[in-house]
Every structure is written in C-alpha cells, then in structure tokens.
Amino acid sequence: MGIRLDGSRNVTISGLTISDCWGDCIYIGGGSKNTQISNCQLRGSRRQGISITKADGVFINNCKIANISGTNPQYGIDIEPNKKCSVNNTFIENVEVTNCEGGIRAILPNKGIGNAMIGRVEIRNCLVSAKTRYAIHLNRCQRAVVEACTISSTNERSSVYANYIDTLRICDNTLKVEVQLLSSMKNKARRLVGKEAYSTIRTVHSGDKVIENNKIIEK
C-alpha cells in the first residue's frame, strides 16, 4: 500500500501524489475514525485507488484517481467492509475517477457477509468513469446519495447500479453514454431508470428512493 491506516484517529492526508503501488494507493481499516483525504493524485496502482474496510467518518475531497488496473477489484474507490466490520459516514465530493476498470463502489458481497455493515455513503459533484465495470455500484447500504455527478461508462453496464439500499437518492446527475446506446434508448430498447440490466440507472430491491432530474447526453 502507498499509505495504510489501521485504527487511526483524526488523520489528514493532503497534497500527495501516490502512484504505482502493488496494492492500493490508500487503505483505511482497523476502525479508523475521522479521516480526511484531500487534494491528492492517486494513479497507476494495481488493486485500488482507495479501499475502506472498517472506518467511521471518511471525507474524500478534490482528489484525482486514474489508471487503476491489474488485480481485482480495480476500483477508484472501494468501500467494502471485511467480515464483522462496518463502514459508516463516507463523503466523496469533487473527485475525478478516470481510466480505472471500475469507478466508485460501496458493496457487501452476497456471500460471506457475516455481520458487516455499510451505513451512510454520499457521492456529490464527482466525475466518474469506468472501463469494464460499473461507474457507480451501491450494494446493501443503509443510506446512499449520488448527486450532481457526471457519470460515464465505456461498456454496456448501467451507469449507476443500486441494489438493497434502505434509503436511496439519485438526483441531478448527467449520464454520458455511447452514441449507439443513446440511439437504442430512443428506440425504447433501454430505459433511463428501471430494474432491468439495460437500464442506465438500475435499482433493485431498494426501499425509500428518490430518483429525479437526471439526464442523458451523448458521449
């Protein structure tokens, strides 16, 4: 790892360039609390840009994450608690994720969940793209917000995929899609919002949700 925090308190990581790590640029775990990551450039690592596995209060702001590829999961930011761990109160703002295999995700695996938990995740004013995986993937969170982001996928996956979210808000986003996909949407082969895999915003098994004021533009 470039930087690994384990059970840390009140840590600020600011103004750094971290690149070409064998694992993650930044790893946050061990029950860390109140972590601030700002004005950093994270690039070229094999596994993740930022991993969060056990923490409360992670604030990621004004960072650029690029070229994450090599070994799974290969996301710019991955919120993924270990077994019997929790991640709560993660706020991601003004972050650019480009040329990574996957963009931003918060996920509990369908198998081996144990007593793991993801609480609140908010993603705002971000530029997020993905090469082969989801640009934004939310799974089994208590509260998730995706707001005022520009989201671009370079494959046929949904731009935002949210499932098993207790409270969900996806609003005021711009979804950039390939020309051929935009054409098929106009022919009603795809939908802006729906449960099906071909929906640009795909929501499955989510409870209280607000999805509004999102728009599709040609990439």
The pLDDT value given to residue 178: 76
Task: Give the integer Cα–Cα distance in Å for 177 and 190.
Answer: 12
The pLDDT value given to residue 157: 83
CB atoms within 10 A of CB 154: 15
The pLDDT value given to residue 218: 81
Task: Give the integer Cα–Cα distance in Å for 219 and 217.
Answer: 6
Sign of the torsion angle spanned by Cα atoms 51, 39, 104, 211: positive
* pTM tops 0.85, yes or no: yes
CB atoms within 10 A of CB 22: 11
Residues of the chain with pLDDT under 70: 110-113, 179-190
- Asked if residues 68 and 49 have their Cβ atoms less than 8 Å apart, the reply is yes
The pLDDT value given to residue 38: 98
- DSSP notation for 111-154: SS-TT-EEEEEEEES-EEEESSS-SEEEESEEEEEEES-EEEES
- φ/ψ of 46, rounded to 5, equals -80, -40
CB atoms within 10 A of CB 188: 7
Task: Give the integer Cα–Cα distance in Å for 33 and 15.
Answer: 20
Cα–chain center distance at 116: 18
Domain residues for 73? 3-218
- φ/ψ of 180, rounded to 5, equals -70, -30
Q: Look at the chain and report how many structural domains it folds into.
A: 1
